[in-house]
């Protein structure tokens, strides 16, 4: 294990004091350190939102792209260089709203990337509108009569799509969060980690206390490979909210199935000195 301080940089986070993001950032450094991942081997990709700023605040390669499109960039980068550890980190609005289509289809694609979603059930950067995961009835400046659409359930959707790894954790349980991050990173295949996180400024419903009273760790006897019980756990929300590895399904990754990537990363494939005479024959 390396010292977690090797990930420190001189950037100053632009988050509110007491934001759950600080805990997630600390856990991230801890998990990387425990896995002995050198910053230059790690590529973080993020979208837009308060969560998506997180990778600026520690040492890593970084592509901070557009709102909702980080998973696509991460997939492209992983296909180009599968030796990189690629993690997409953003919030619930970014990943489940704007990026919904990429979320769905990349679960199917199963490229070996990790998707860490800071899920605070609210839009922070744009100052307090409902997010896809906001609870029914939550009143905001825009949803003046309360949220009318039932919340998006990322865990259930991921299980429905036969995701290879689906976990949930809570920023208020750092020990658990570090363990989940490590499991996601070491898993071979697309890994979704939904991280419950209070927004201290805009979300007056789902507060730290609210989560604290509801969140419980899955017990050791829980079998994440059983899809039906995983569904049951995914639907549990309200009085009790389970955290842990909810679904595990070891299926072949996208990269493993491509003969083009067998001999090494794509970016190292020689592109000069190639004989193209067989192509020229096609034009005769």
User: Which residues touch 236 (CB under 8 Å, ≥6 apart)?
Assistant: 242
Tell which one of 28, 51, 73, 163 touches another protein (CB under 8 A): 73
H helices of 97-220, in order, are 100-109, 154-160, 174-186, 208-214
**Is residue 257 close enough to count as binding another protein by CB under 8 A?**
no
- Which class for 240: exposed (0-12), middle (13-18), buried (19 or more C-beta within 10 A)? exposed
Report the nearest approach of another protein to the CB of residue 86 (Å): 9
Buried b / exposed e along 109-142 (16+ C-beta atoms within 10 A): ebbbbbbbbbbbbbbbbeebbbbbbbbeebebee
Beta bridge partners of 123: none
**Out of 8, 18, 101, 142, which residue is the one contacting another protein (CB under 8 A)?**
101
102 lies in the site for another protein, by CB under 8 A: yes
**Footprint of another protein on residues 39-58 (CB under 8 A)?**
39-41, 43, 45, 48, 53, 56
Inter-residue contact 173 to 94 (CB < 8 Å): no
Rounded least distance, CB 56 to another protein, Å: 5
Nearer to another protein, 72 or 164 (CB): 72
For position 36 contacting another protein by CB under 8 A, the verdict is no
Distance CA 89, CA 49 (A): 10
Q: Which is nearer to another protein, 2 or 104 (CB)?
A: 104
| Between 63 and 222, CB nearer to another protein | 63
75 binds another protein per the rule CB under 8 A: yes
Determine if 172 is a binding residue for another protein (CB under 8 A): no
By the rule CB under 8 A, 252 interacts with another protein: no
Residue with Cβ nearer another protein (69 or 118): 69
Q: DSSP character for 82?
A: T
CB 44 → another protein: shortest distance, Å?
9
> How far is residue 161 CA from its own chain's centroid?
16
Decide if residue 65 touches another protein (CB under 8 A). Answer: yes
Give me the half-sphere count of Cα atoms (radius 13 Å) on the Cβ side of residue 208.
Answer: 10
Residues that bind another protein (CB under 8 A): 11, 39-41, 43, 45, 48, 53, 56, 59-66, 69, 72-81, 83-84, 101-102, 104-105, 258-261, 263, 266-267, 269, 271-272, 274, 276, 278-280, 282-284
């Amino acid at each position: 294990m390396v010292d977690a301080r090797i990930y420190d940089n001189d950037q100053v986070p632009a988050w509110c004091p007491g934001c759950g993001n600080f805990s997630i950032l600390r856990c991230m450094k801890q998990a990387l350190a425990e896995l002995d991942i050198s910053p230059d081997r790690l590529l973080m990709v993020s979208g837009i939102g308060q969560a998506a700023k997180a990778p600026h605040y520690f040492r890593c390669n970084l592509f901070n792209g557009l709102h909702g499109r980080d998973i696509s960039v991460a997939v492209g980068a992983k296909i180009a260089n599968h030796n990189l550890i690629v993690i997409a980190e953003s919030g619930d609005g970014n990943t489940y709203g704007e990026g919904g289509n990429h979320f769905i289809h990349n679960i199917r694609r199963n490229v070996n990337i990790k998707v860490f979603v800071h899920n605070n059930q609210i839009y922070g950067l744009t100052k307090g509108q409902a997010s896809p995961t906001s609870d029914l009835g939550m009143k905001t400046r825009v949803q003046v009569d309360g949220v009318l659409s039932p919340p998006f359930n990322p865990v259930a959707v991921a299980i429905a799509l036969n995701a290879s790894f689906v976990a949930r954790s809570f920023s208020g349980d750092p020990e658990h969060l570090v363990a989940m991050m490590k499991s996601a990173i070491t898993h071979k295949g697309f890994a979704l980690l939904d991280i419950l996180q209070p927004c201290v400024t805009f979300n007056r419903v789902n507060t730290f206390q609210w989560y604290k009273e509801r969140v419980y760790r899955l017990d050791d006897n829980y079998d994440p490979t059983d899809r039906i019980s995983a569904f049951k756990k995914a639907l549990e929300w309200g009085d009790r909210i389970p955290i842990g590895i909810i679904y595990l399904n070891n299926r072949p990754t996208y990269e493993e199935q491509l003969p083009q990537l067998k001999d090494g990363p794509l970016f190292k494939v020689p592109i000069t000195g190639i004989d193209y005479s067989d192509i020229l024959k096609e034009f005769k």
